[in-house]
Structures are given as C-alpha cells and as structure tokens.
A and B are shown apart, each in its own frame.
Chain A
Amino acid sequence: MGKKKNRNVGIIGIGQTEYSSHKEDQNQVEMVNEAVRYALEDAKITLDDIDCVIHGNMELFEMIHQPDLWHSLGSGAFGKEQLRITTGGTTGASLVCAADNLVASGMYDVVMAIGLEKLQEGHTTGGITNMADPLWFRHLQTGALTATTATMMMEEFGEDRAKRAAMKYRIMIDKHACLNPRAHRRFGLEYDQAEDLMNTSPQLVGELRLIHMCSQSDGACVMIFASEKKAKELSDKPVWIRDHITAHREETFNCFGLDMPEMTHHYAARTLFGRNGITDPVDYFDVFEMYDPSAWWGLDWLRQFLLLEGDEHIRMLEEDEFDLDGKLPVNPSGGVIASNPIGATAMLRPAEAAMQIRGDAGPQQIKKEVKHALASGFGGTMWTVLMMLEKDLDW
C-alpha cells in the first residue's frame, strides 16, 4: 500500500554547474545564478513561472548565516516565496523530497530547488568535525573517516577479495566519471592499476585509502518541479517522483557495538520497496545513483540498499553487473567519489537519475531504456534519503 499522493509531481528542469575545486572566479551568488539559468533553460521556462524557490547547503562550511538571503541576488527568489531546508549531507535529496511535498500539496504548482556548496571557501574537515557534540565528541576527532566498514568487509569476505572489490568499484566509478563532462575528478584509472593502488595509495584510516575517498568540490545543482498538469504542459519528458523516504538516526555514531542496529539504508530500502510492492529491486530498477562517500561504503551499501545477502553484491561487481551496460548500472555520473559539492551532492543523485530516464544524460547515458530509477542521499550520523523516479505514470 503505497502513499496516497494528492497529485503527481514531475521534474521538468535540471541545471548543473561544473564541479571543481577551483571556482575562485565566481562568488557564491554567481555560482547559484549559473545553475539557475541552466535549469530554467533546460525547462524552457522563465522565473515568472516559478512559484516558490527552496534553498539548501551546509552554511557552516562557508560561515554565512542564512545564506539564502545573500543568494537571493542570484537565485531569483526576489518577490517570491522561498523556503530553506538543510539536513547536512542529505540536504540536496531533502530538497527534492520537499519540492515533491510542496507541489503535491497543491500549495505551489512550480517549485525550483537549489543545492550548492563552495567548499574551497571554508575548511571542510573542520566543518565536519563541528558536527560532533562540542563538549565530548569533537575532541575525539574521529570525524567522517573510519575504516570500520573496510575492516568488517575484510573479515567477512577475506582481505584480498574485499580489497580487490573495493578497488574495482573505485576504478569502475572513475571510468563513469571520465564520461561525465561535469565531474570534478576524472583520473583515467585502468583496472590493471588496481594492484598498485590497493597497496600504495596513502592510508587515511586503516584500509580506507586516499584513492577510495570522495571528492571535496564546489558547485551548484538546480532542479525544477511541477504539478502533473503543468509538467505535461511545460515539458515533453517530465520525470515523475513516485515516492521517497527519509530515515534519520540518533545523535551519536554508536553503531559499532557487539550487536549492530539495522542501518538506515536497509530500513529505508525495505520500507520504501515494501510499500510500493517491489520485491526484487535489482530486477526492477534500471539505474541506481547512490550517494557513495567512499568506495568501501559504496560497495557495502549496495548490499543494504538492494536487500542482497551474503556476497551477492561483490559477485555482481566482479561480474560487471554495475557497469554502464550491466544489469544495474550504478553511478553512471561518477557518484560522490567524483564530485562532492556537499549541499548539492545529494541532489545530483536524483538529477543524474532523471537525466538517465530522459535519455539526455550525455556521454554517460545508459544505452538500454531507463524507466525506473533509484537515487539515495546520505549525511549526518548515518542518515539516508531514498527516492524512486519513474518515466511513466503507470505505477
């Protein structure tokens, strides 16, 4: 029994800047404006058609209080309704969920969502450390880097197989990134470099090596959403938001005990698929844009999200099933590992997935028809946002 939506919501416009670590030639307002223009162009509408603007980023990275006020100079929010929703790393995805709620409610017909970050303007690791409680955890500085997943995977699957799988995932992702003209980091890695990188890439924490980690990028992503009626009027290929779920967790990273609680990824997947009657997600979905902060997490979470058991996910990776021409392409965009403008990153996932459905994702387009897409967001203390996009209104 899925959610009974008041009315359907379609994605009618997508705009992205390039992602890089050197956007010194633009200030935040200009960067927002660039993405807004691209999105309006893509949707073939003007600012007049927008009823409400929603905005999000992680303001402590750039140390601006209420940045949407300043960004209004470039966001087009002047004179319009505007809301600001921020949920850490999941912000971009939360903005998509919020846009869905706002349009479905009937209160707004056309909503424009803006996610952005200019990490080069602040201190990213400092900003992430600030997430921890100031009196106790901040001083332990375990931050966002941990090798616990790598350790557990090596224990479960054997050190060699696990390390090779993580590296294969990493190289596959880089190959996807090399196709994406907007991706930040495109190294041109080859599979025969796996052995060397596995052993020589500098260690960050345990087996979590530099090569596995995601990027830190500047960039903005804008998406435009419309009610079913308006979407059909304004666009010839709207992408429909079928359903979404968010699962947060308590404040502390206390999930490494003798027993481990269910991960929010798994909870979100089984709840979302359960209420939509999807019993075999690998079979159902044509693409999965997953928020992968590192190769280890990306690989581990495939099992969580796709409700797999044992080593199925590793086997699928080893058999190239997650490649662009595989059974379930994962991160054709290059994922978070390639580009990570944090406030926008989680929006890039549904954005790239939507472009795959539309068939205009560019060089990273999957050749087979893409009708059903899955996109995830991650942030905070292991929070998950998971959403389903559809090509046709037939569920």
Chain B
Amino acid sequence: MKRVAVCAVAQHKCDSNLWYKRFQGMLLDVLEEIQAQTGMDFSEETGVRTIITASDDVFDARTISDNGVTDAVGGQYREEEKMAQEGLNGLGYAMATILSGHEDAVYVAGHCKESQPESVNMCTNLAYDPFYGRAMGLDYTNVAALQARDYMEKSGITEEQLAKVVVRARQWASRNPNANAQDLLELGDVMYAPMLCDPIRTTHAYPVSDGAVGFLLASEERAKDFTDNPVWLTGFGTCMDSYFLGDRDLASNFALKKAAERAYKKAGIKDVKKEVDLVEVMDCYAYQQPMWLEGLGFCGDGEGGKFIDEGGLAKYNVNLSGGMLAGNPIMIGGLYRAAEAVLQLKGEAGEHQAADVGRAVVQSTTGGAGQFHTVLVLER
C-alpha cells in the first residue's frame, strides 16, 4: 500500500476563550512553527502549492470561511481547498492529493473558535432539518445524550467507569502543554457533578475550546527534504450513517466499524488488537471513549466497561493527549488527535510520551451522535 509522509505538526494551545487572537493570528503561529521545523516554503518549483484547510462557515459566521485565512495559510496564487467536515478528513484528502501525483507536498491547516458564537449548541442545531429536527431543538449534545443512554443500557457501563475515563483524561491533559482543561479531578467530582443533558454530566462533556492545527505532508520521495523523522499515513476510511435518529441503531457503531474496516484494509491491518500500539479517539463526551474503542475493534461490543476496568486504556495508550474531553474545538477535534499520534510516533511527545509506539489509529466524528466517522492509520 502506498503511503504518504507526515513531516511535521504544529498545534495552537487550546483555550476556552482566546479573545485576544483572531483566526489569522492563530494560523500564523502554527505556520511559523511548521516552517521552523521543516524549512518549507511555498515556492512554485519546490514548495507547497496545495493547501487544505478545515473550518466551518457556521462556526466562523463567515461565508467561505477559508477566504478569511487564505493569506495565513500561504494560499496566495496557490491551490487551497476547504475540507468542510471535521478536519481529520483533510488529512485523508491530502493523502489522495499526493498519491494522485498532483502534488508532492501539501499543507493542512484547520481552525475553529467555539468561543465566538454565543452557543455551540445553537450552531449544531442548524445541522438538523428545518422542519422537524431543528424545530424539536436537536443539537449534538442532546443527541449524544440519547446515544449515551442507549449505549449505557446495552453495555452496562457504569457511572464509575465513565468517571475513570474523565479522571484519566485530566491526568494526561495536565502533561500536554496544548490541552485546554488541565485541572485534575477526583472520581467523586465527576460522578456527582450535575447533569448537563441526562445521562451526560457536566464533567462528561468537553469544554468550549478555540484552537488551530497544521500538518505538512509529503510524498515518500520528498519527505527527506522536510524532515529526517517522518511518520507514515497508511490508512484512511470513512463512513456515513443514516440521518434521522429513528433510522439508526444508535449504540451499534455501524458507521465507525465500516470506516475502521476500510482504513485497516488500506493499512494492511489484520488484527487491530495485536498490531496497534496507540489510539486517539474523539471523545466529545465520556461515554464516547469506550464506545468508539468498541467500534474500532479494541474490545468487543458491550465490553467497553470491562476494557476500562482491565487496564485497556493504558495498554493501548488511549488518548494520551487528554483527548477531546480535555477540550478541542469540535470541527478540528480529529486533527488534534492526529497531532498527538504524530508526536507519539516521532517520539516528540515529551511528558506524555509512550514507549515504543510503532503504529497508531486516529478517529474522529462529524455530525450528531457520530453520524459520520473517519479513521486514520499512522505508523513509524
């Protein structure tokens, strides 16, 4: 299977209220770091000529949201395309752009500020059709709550197990300089926190976050021009589930399983439990961590709770970034997961570095209750 190199990654620290910077400023910080790491430029002959951005018009409150940041991502007289789903899909599309022969180096940059709109839920409410879903007041939070309830009943996962997930997330986040919520929590803090949207407690939900991330990708031939420590993108798969909640089996992981299957096939993975050392899942809410891990095949259906109790999270180095639970903006939550995986594979994860990471799986979702899933495989 052909592979594409991830040469460098740069993350803007996530913050719940980056009131003093606008998108262009955040993206410039990220670009400068990438340039410093790799010496890349945008020259016509040997530089980056294609940029893939990730942002959302509703969250940015701006038509053609990439239009505002073209300069800051080097887009002047260059190709720039906006990935209008969660940003992880941008890495998959960049992979295709390079494997197609159209480009040999691609810069991927995503941004989002959840603190800009008065309510993230008001934004995600707009994903629902105007006649029915929107009128009922559906948004990604209450729809996740429906899925959480279904998952909790089918899997028997307990409040204590979910609390362990959150406590652990904060422990790892406190070692990640780019994470947002770094305060440590006790089990009791989590288990007895008030309900946000039953059964999701306030402590189960990711905090509103602002951030930006950038990646430099290159073909195998050109990787050495940018880094002597590349990481390889070997698998990518996505899948779309049904739109209406009533048409879905919410706890089934239908779309995630298919996306994972497709990604693993491309990467040549036969048994994910044996061949993967590190996982980053986009856990917007605590229940999603064990549920997505089931969908990815790290444990059987309904065994998420057991997996937590039996040390599965440590074994597979799950979310050493602190995960989405520690706070990333929803439109680029997956890109932050990929950033962590890249650092881990490069051995540049500092205080949160795991030992001997050879291959990692990264996952993200777009849409309410994971209507759409994306899975990426990276290796050293």
Contacts and interface: CB of A to CB of B under 8 A. Distances in A.
Contact of A66 (B85, B236, B258, B259): B85
B57 interface: yes
B76 A248 contact: yes
Contact of B64 (A53, A245, A379): A379
Contacts, number: 197
Interface stretch (A33-41, A123-131, A176-184, A285-293): A123-131
A59 B67 CA distance: 14
Say whether chain B's binding surface is mostly helix, strand, loop, or mixed.
mixed
Interface string B78-90: 1111111100010
Contacts of B262: 81
A146 to B, nearest CB: 17
A250 B96 contact: no
A134 B60 CA distance: 10
Given A63-B126, A69-B371, A98-B81, A251 B71 contact: yes
B80 A85 contact: no
A257 interface: no
B239 A79 contact: yes
Contacts of B69: 251
A86 B241 CA distance: 21
Contact of B372 (A82, A97, A267): A82
A131 B372 contact: no
A251 B70 contact: yes
Nearest to A64: B126
A131 B63 contact: yes
Contact of B102 (A69, A104, A250, A379): A104
B252 to A, nearest CB: 13
Contacts of B75: 248-250
Contacts of B243: 69-70, 72-73
A162 B71 CA distance: 34
B85 A6 contact: no
B237 interface: yes
A86 B84 contact: yes
B202 interface: no
A173 interface: no
B82 A105 contact: no
Interface in B83-108: 83-85, 89, 92-93, 95-102
A257 to B, nearest CB: 16
A380 interface: yes
A249 B96 contact: no
B193 interface: no
Contact of A78 (B71, B78, B80, B240): B240
B329 to A, nearest CB: 14
Contacts of A244: 102
Given A3-B101, A66-B366, A105-B97, A87 B81 contact: yes
| Interface bin, chain A | 35 or more
B188 interface: no
Given A72-B243, A83-B83, A251-B71, A100 B100 contact: yes
B79 A246 contact: yes
Contacts of A368: none
B63 A78 contact: no
B238 interface: yes
Interface residues of B, number: 66
Say whether chain A's binding surface is mostly helix, strand, loop, or mixed.
mixed
B56 interface: yes
A258 interface: no
A82 B238 contact: yes
Nearest to B129: A70
A127 B95 CA distance: 32
A83 B77 CA distance: 25
A101 interface: yes
Contacts of A271: 44
B367 interface: yes
A312 B170 CA distance: 68
A80 interface: yes
B361 to A, nearest CB: 17
Given A130-B62, A379-B64, A249 B240 contact: no
A16 interface: no
B96 A102 contact: yes
A97 to B, nearest CB: 8
Contacts of A108: 96
Interface in B125-141: 125-130
A85 B372 contact: no
Contacts of B238: 81-83
B366 A264 contact: no
A20 interface: no
B115 to A, nearest CB: 15
Interface string A1-26: 00111100000000000000000000
26 contacts: A4-B101, A5-B100, A5-B102, A64-B126, A66-B367, A69-B371, A70-B129, A72-B242, A73-B244, A82-B240, A82-B372, A84-B83, A85-B81, A85-B83, A85-B93, A87-B64, A102-B96, A104-B101, A105-B100, A108-B96, A130-B61, A246-B50, A246-B80, A249-B70, A251-B69, A262-B77
The 6 A-B residue pairs with the shortest CB-CB distance, nearest first, are: A104-B100, A105-B99, A88-B64, A246-B79, A65-B126, A105-B96
Given A56-B84, A64-B130, 13 more contacts: A6-B100, A60-B63, A66-B127, A69-B127, A69-B240, A72-B371, A73-B244, A81-B259, A83-B83, A83-B238, A85-B83, A250-B75, A271-B44
